[in-house]
Amino acid sequence: MQTSETGAFLRTITPEKLFDPETWTKLSAFARVLPSGDVLPTRAKHSTESNDYQVGLNYLFATDDDPKNGFWFALPDLAASVQLTGRVPRIVEAFRLQASGQLETLQRITLRGTVPIDPRRDDFFRKVIEERKRLANNTALTDEERKRLDKALKVLANATSYGIFAEMIREETTKKVPTTCYGIDPDSFPCSVQNPERPGAYCFPPLASLITAAARLMLALLERCVTDLGGTYAMEDTDSMAIVATQRGGLIECPGGTDRRRGKPPVRALSWAQVNAIAKRFEQLNPYDRAAIGGSVLKIEDDNRDPKTEEPRQLWCLAISAKRYALFLRDSNGEPALLREGANNKEDRYSELGLGIC
């Protein structure tokens, strides 16, 4: 993929095109950019009280115009930035990953003697997730075996579909040892480090990068759908978003709101119907066999419905960041009643609207 081709591609990316599954097949590429206020993932210390490094989406700026000092990003991350900022980053270099051929040693397998998979024609992880969903209708298995297979397939899909491509095994050493470092540039270089890491058996960082970048693009597309309707959200995290919504929508008072037509700082809430329509739109990106897994990849969580009547109910949110928030109800006296595990929700589902694959 040439630099000009990458820029031209990004200029054509609209929400409508991102709802076309074919567009996603063209995103397996990387580009070096000189950011100028683009919204891109960066790994940094985001807290003065911790030495932990975390990945966050930030407005990023290059310190100078030297192309050699550009930053490499996966193409889905650049497409996400375009959706959020409306402009294409300055691209100085780009390349595409292209599959070529097929291993002759690939063999058919049967997981736990029940789930047949032919890697020469099946998408392994898609097949695992689909077959897990089909278990409920498999009358050939006992209840106990069905439960065991369900758990095995769940762990296999969740723990390996991303992790094996990013696995780096830390080797503990008491002092620095010589090693060879490989990066995005074509040439490796020698260095000395303490506790070097060696790649796992299936480690392939470019693919791992594309998986996480595609997830961020999915969230950016969701954010664009919400903001295009004039709405906003209380918080969003790795795979979820708490959209501000009421039954009929409209302005609601909220500190920090930008709409001041009432003299107070309200925000605009979407209606429940609008949120349902957004979720419905994401059905187009469902990659699975619809007979096994139908519906949208965007799931409206059960917390939004009364556990007894299953009718929609209003939730409230107090949030200070993506991972520091609380959802609550209001009792008959208008007092807040926190959603607690085992009370009104299942497990720890505290997001009003979540993305999920299974």
pLDDT digits (tens, 9 = 90+) for 125-155: 999 999 999 998 888 889 999 999 999 999 9
Q: Where are the domains of the chain?
A: 3-96, 109-161, 168-201, 229-355
pTM: 0.87
Q: Within 10 Å of residue 351's Cβ, how many Cβ atoms?
A: 24
User: Which residues lie closer than 8 Å to 53 by C-beta, 6 or more apart?
Assistant: 43, 44, 45
Partner residues linked to 168 by β-bridges: 199
Contact partners, residue 153, CB within 8 Å, separation at least 6: 111, 115, 128, 129, 131, 132, 135
Mean pLDDT of the chain: 87
pLDDT surpasses 50 at 350: no
Token pair listed for 302: 């059960």
pLDDT band at 99 (very low <50, low <70, confident <90, very high): confident
189 pLDDT band (50/70/90 cuts)?
very high
pLDDT in tens, 30-72: 999 999 999 999 988 877 888 888 888 899 999 888 888 899 9
Q: Rounded to whole angstroms, how far apart are CA atoms 137 and 139?
A: 6
- Those residues whose C-beta lies under 8 Å from the C-beta of residue 129, and which sit 6 or more positions away, are 153, 157, 288, 293, 357, 358
Q: Tell me the per-residue pLDDT of 295-309, one tens digit each, with 9 for 90 and over.
A: 999 999 888 999 889
More confident residue, 104 or 186: 104
Query: Mean pLDDT over residues 105-116, rounded?
Result: 90
Beta bridge partners of 337: 329
- Of 33, 39, 29, 95, which Cα lies nearest the Cα of 219? 39
The answer to whether residues 75 and 91 touch, using CB atoms and an 8 Å cutoff, is no
Separation between Cα atoms, residue 230 and residue 267, nearest integer Å: 9
CB 77 within 8 A of CB 41: yes
What ranges in 167-299 are assigned the alpha helix state H?
A: 205-228, 272-281
DSSP-assigned beta bridge partners for residue 5:
none
